Structure 1
Amino acid sequence: MITDPIFYLGAVPAVILMGLAKGGLSGLSLLSLPLMALVVSPVQAAAIMLPILMVQDVVTVWVYRHTWDRRNVLIILPAAVVGILIGYLWAAEVSDAAVRLSLGIISVTFAVRRLVLERGSNEVAPTKADLPRGLFWGAVCGFTSMIAHAGGPPFQIYVMPQRLPQTIFVGTGAVVFGIINWMKVPPYIALGQISAENLTTAAALFPVGIAATYAGVWLVRRISGRVFYTSVYALLVLVGAKLVFDGVSGLL
């Protein structure tokens, strides 16, 4: 287990942000890995975070077990398998910086467009859970989740325009990522990213992760639907901007 106090100065806030995101405050999760990567390598940060994500998934799936959209889950997951496989096969080849840059640009563009549309009109027609878009964004979701635990923005880009009730939106994400994170275990083992040190360190952070997840659930249930979606779009803009910055920095 990592015992350096400096590590926990970065890791504890990162796990809290991830827990709040798992509880429903989508967007905060993408700030977690960069924060933890300030105190350990990005690869080790991802390996430590995966078991924590899986424990947090247990909480969110249980809480939202009755409120999730079956059609979206059935469309996204098969495509996510393909994305995870591509992420595994290309893990040593694909530039994380390029992925972050492209994902950041897409996220900012999407979120700004939706904010402008919804501010200009009180009645924006919701989209449907259609197969072509769902398969595409599901594959992107699996790919970015595999290489950077960054599946949130593709999921949001596909699902948020459907204007699902917020508990169903959060519950659908909980089920999707609860399964995706289990799918990522064999590839992570094959890539040599799972070790005794990382697993014991993750175990030490489990209580923080669980408490933060329940805090996120508590907050989501007290936010109105309109405020919730506006907040998520705004967070997506901020997170997208952070991804663009990280991508450009990495490429340079």
Structure 2
Amino acid sequence: MIDQWLFYCLAIPVVLLVGLSKGGFGGGLGSLAVPVLSLAIDPRLAAAVLLPILCSMDLVSLWSFRGRWDKKNLAIMFPFAMLGLILGAAMSTYMDANMIRFMVGVMALYFVGHYVWGKHILQRVAVKPASVGRGGFWSTIAGFVSYIAHAGGPPISIYLLPQHLPKTLFVGTTVLFFSVVNYIKLVPYVWTGQLDTRAFVTSLVLLPLAPIGVRLGVWLHHRVSDRWFYGVCYVLLAVAGVKLLSESLLAWLG
């Protein structure tokens, strides 16, 4: 298992925050986890450690939001997400740790920008119905970045938010979508050796935090403003993004 103290100083709060997000706030903070943990370890190892934990969180979230999802949207999103996963698996085999660190840093800063500006703009536009064109495009992107860094939340939000779904229906739809995506990711992660014994044992050590975070998220769903919760977390994401970009650029220039 991983024995770096800095990793656990980052991993414990990150796992709790991601659990809170998946349990009551739409799961968007999957985009926070890999960038923050990549400050201490290889981003590919960070993604591998997180995947079993995310899968365990999905079981709790599925039970909490059972039956509360939009079937029409899911029928559009799933096939294209699979295409994105295939593209992510194929490309990840050709990228080294520094290249993935750079990509994760760019994703992090883009998602912060999307939260600060794009999310609020999307919420003010006219209601848009479910669409194969828009849903297919953003679900493919979501599948790709989900494979690389478990960061498919923002692309799916870009697609779903203009539909102005009720909050609980939105959360339930994202919960089911990413549950299926995460369990499918287990196959290529194990097949390629990314999820090895070291990563899996580390996941088991952190696993007890997963249901705690999710249940807290469910409890806070109707009690805490998502604006406050995400505001604090996206500040952390911005810091991690800048750090990862600077590290990768310095490595290339040096």
TM-score range, shorter chain: 0.7 to 0.9
Which residue number corresponds to residue 14 of structure 2? 14
Question: C-alpha displacement at 1:93, in angstroms?
Answer: 3.2
Q: Do the aligned partners of residues 175 and 239 (structure 1) sit closer, same or farther apart at CA in structure 2, a change above 3 Å counting?
A: farther
What is the rounded CA distance, in whole Å, between the counterparts of 2:236 and 2:130 in structure 1? 25
* Amino acid across the alignment from 2:15: V
Question: C-alpha displacement at 1:5, in angstroms?
Answer: 4.3
Question: C-alpha displacement at 1:2, in angstroms?
Answer: 3.6
Structure 2 residue 184 is the aligned partner of structure 1 residue 187: no
Which residue number corresponds to residue 108 of structure 1? 113
Give the 5 Å matches for 1:129-144.
129-144=130-145
Q: Do the aligned partners of residues 39 and 5 (structure 1) sit closer, same or farther apart at CA in structure 2, a change above 3 Å counting?
A: same
Structure 2 residue 179 is the aligned partner of structure 1 residue 196: no
* Amino acid across the alignment from 2:8: Y
Question: C-alpha displacement at 1:17, in angstroms?
Answer: 1.4
What is the rounded CA distance, in whole Å, between the counterparts of 2:220 and 2:60 in structure 1? 15
Question: C-alpha displacement at 1:242, in angstroms?
Answer: 5.4
Q: Do the aligned partners of residues 232 and 125 (structure 1) sit closer, same or farther apart at CA in structure 2, a change above 3 Å counting?
A: farther
What is the rounded CA distance, in whole Å, between the counterparts of 1:48 and 1:116 in structure 2? 35
Which residue number corresponds to residue 44 of structure 1? 45
* Amino acid across the alignment from 1:172: T
Structure 1 segments, 4+ long, off by >6 Å, are none
Q: Do the aligned partners of residues 117 and 42 (structure 1) sit closer, same or farther apart at CA in structure 2, a change above 3 Å counting?
A: closer
Give the 5 Å matches for 1:45-194.
45-93=46-94, 95-96=99-100, 97-98=102-103, 100-101=105-106, 104-105=109-110, 108-109=113-114, 112-116=117-121, 124-194=125-195
Question: C-alpha displacement at 1:247, in angstroms?
Answer: 6.6
Partner-residue secondary structure (3-state), 1:50: helix
- The TM-score with structure 1 as length reference comes to 0.84
- Residues 30 and 152, structure 2, Cα contact 8 Å, conserved in 1: no
- The TM-score with structure 2 as length reference comes to 0.83
What is the rounded CA distance, in whole Å, between the counterparts of 2:10 and 2:115 in structure 1? 30
CA deviations over 1:140-177 (Å, ceiling 9, x no partner):
00000001111111111111111111111111011000
Which has the larger displacement, 107-116 or 31-40? 107-116
* Amino acid across the alignment from 1:245: V
- Residues 32 and 234, structure 2, Cα contact 8 Å, conserved in 1: no
CA deviations over 1:200-249 (Å, ceiling 9, x no partner):
221121211110011111111335xxx54x56885797577557635743
- Residues 80 and 180, structure 1, Cα contact 8 Å, conserved in 2: yes
Question: C-alpha displacement at 1:36, in angstroms?
Answer: 2.1
* Amino acid across the alignment from 1:17: L
Question: C-alpha displacement at 1:135, in angstroms?
Answer: 0.3
RMSD between aligned residues: 2.8
